[in-house]
Amino acid sequence: MAANGILEVTSDTFQALVLENEKPVLVDFWAEWCGPCRMITPILEQIAAERGNDIVVAKLNVDENSDVAARYGVQSIPFLAVFEHGQIAHRAIGAMPKAHLESALGLS
């Protein structure tokens, strides 16, 4: 588990930690240089703290794991996707307030 309840995933761990997870997994596709990505990190930390029993919150660095980003057609970041049973159930692109993000991702 990474800092603040957010799991770091990579190309090597994506299958086991995201696609095979029994819980829904909210994946933040992000990069170090992305300002909006940094802006939503506190929101993701809140979601992890509030919903940690129901959903896993994870981050995947697109610069270091471009194969996974390409597989899911990530062209703009932050790209957030909720994976359920190995498939994307909900997605959102861009920084937005917590209530909007939760609504877009089917969490409200």
Q: Which domains does the chain have, with CATH numbers?
A: 3-104 (3.40.30.10)
Is residue 86 very low, low, confident or very high in pLDDT (cuts 50, 70, 90)? very high
Does the active-site annotation cover 104? no
Cα separation, 23 vs 90, in Å, equals: 14
Identified catalytic residue from 6, 9, 37, 101:
37
Residues 84-91, mean pLDDT to the nearest whole number: 96
CB 18 within 8 A of CB 9: yes
Does the active-site annotation cover 84? no
Non-local (6+) Cβ contacts of 22 within 8 A are: none
CB 27 within 8 A of CB 62: no
Cα separation, 38 vs 46, in Å, equals: 14
Q: What is the pTM of this model?
A: 0.94
Model pLDDT for residues 42-81, shown as the tens digit of each residue: 999 999 999 988 999 999 999 999 999 999 999 999 999 9
Residue 3 pLDDT more than 80? no
CB 26 within 8 A of CB 7: no
Identified catalytic residue from 34, 62, 74, 92:
34
The pLDDT of residue 2 is 58
Strand partners, 81: 27, 91
Is residue 5 very low, low, confident or very high in pLDDT (cuts 50, 70, 90)? confident
